[in-house]
Amino acid sequence: MKSELAELDQKPTMLDDEAPDAVPVPHALVPHLGETAILLDIDGTLLDLMPTPREVWVPPGLSETLNRLTERTSGALAMVSGRSLNDIDLIFAPDVFRAVAGHGAEMRLSVGNEADDVHAPQMDKELKRRLAAIAKLSPGILLEDKGYSLALHYRLAPHAEKAIYESVSLIRADLPNAPIEVLPGKFVCEIKHSGFTKATGVRELMKHEPFKGRRPIFIGDDVTDETVFAIMPDMNGLAFSVGRRAIGVNGHFDEPKDVRAFLAHLLDDTRLE
Ligand SMILES: [Mg+2]
């Protein structure tokens, strides 16, 4: 944990009980887990980025940490991801977590009844067909159809980035009134309905039990996570970025493994009992 927390972290009393290589926990900032909601981006935050989105994996111990945090927060732990609910479930199987998925297009407020999951309407088919054709620009561009949005992954074809965004711009120029927006990610260009974002999803999530009235802690690394960093002060929440110091955050982590260590520390900290 760095930046604004540096002052706190430098106090010897804060570090005495920590191993030299431990990630400093912002004791002074993290509230009682019974009053906290833990909101986590997945790729590049909780899990290390891999050459393709399909290759991510959950390292040993993370499942237990997440399940124990879910228990200690009375269920107020949620994934906040651009991935679909279905995808999130496959990654963490057999665990099932509450989630804001698809950049706010999908939401799971309770675990155990799939029928309660909320899904945004499908993207217009003709528009989707036109966007899908962009994948033909180069081998290595992987098309992901989330139903309500379309993602073009180009980690295996980084040279195609400019051509992808130019092609998307041309299609958008053709359809100036289409309610769509382009989300640039790490080696991914996603085209989605402009009516929802991770922030609209988090705002909605926080209106419901068991999240309601709690102080949210959000950790994310993407450009799209900045919409959530921006609303954390409205909820008296805390925002942390990963890999870079984003605007409006309370601190940042270097890598996903530091985030995992931080989460494990929250469980170890008896002050938070
Ligand atoms: Mg991410």
Tell how far the Cα of 236 is from the centroid of ligand 1, in angstroms: 23
Q: Where are the beta strands (DSSP E) in the chain?
A: 36-40, 77-80, 98-101, 106-108, 118-119, 142-145, 149-153, 180-184, 188-193, 215-220, 238-242, 251-253
Segments forming the whole domain that contains residue 159: 125-193
What is the number of domains present in the chain? 2
Pair (115, 30) in one structural domain: yes
* Tokens standing for residue 96: 């099932």
Tell how far the Cα of 103 is from the centroid of ligand 1, in angstroms: 11
Of 47, 116, 19, 49, which is closest to residue 257 (Cα–Cα)?
Answer: 47
Tell how far the Cα of 45 is from the centroid of ligand 1, in angstroms: 5
Pair (43, 115) in one structural domain: yes
Pair (184, 241) in one structural domain: no
Catalytic annotation, pick one of 9, 17, 21, 41: 41
Contact 144, 151 (CB under 8 A): yes
Tell how far the Cα of 156 is from the centroid of ligand 1, in angstroms: 18
Pair (96, 220) in one structural domain: yes
Pair (73, 168) in one structural domain: no
Pair (189, 202) in one structural domain: no
Is residue 21 among the annotated active site residues?
no
Tell how far the Cα of 174 is from the centroid of ligand 1, in angstroms: 30
Pair (183, 252) in one structural domain: no
Pair (112, 180) in one structural domain: no
Q: What is the CATH number of the domain that holds 87?
A: 3.40.50.1000
Q: What is the CATH number of the domain that holds 188?
A: 3.30.70
- What does each of the 273 residues of the chain score in pLDDT, given as a tens digit? 444 433 333 333 333 333 333 344 555 556 688 899 999 999 999 999 987 778 899 999 999 999 999 999 999 999 999 999 999 999 999 999 999 999 999 999 999 888 788 888 888 899 999 999 999 999 999 999 988 899 999 999 999 999 999 999 999 999 888 888 998 888 889 999 888 999 999 999 999 999 999 999 999 998 889 999 999 999 999 999 999 888 889 889 999 999 999 999 888 765 544
Q: Which of 148, 171, 193 is the last residue of a domain?
A: 193
Give the pTM: 0.81
Pair (188, 201) in one structural domain: no
Q: Which of 193, 215, 250 is the last residue of a domain?
A: 193
Pair (111, 140) in one structural domain: no
Pair (137, 222) in one structural domain: no
Pair (200, 184) in one structural domain: no
DSSP 37: E
Q: How far apart are CA 203 and CA 180, in angstroms?
A: 21
Q: Which of 175, 193, 211 is the last residue of a domain?
A: 193
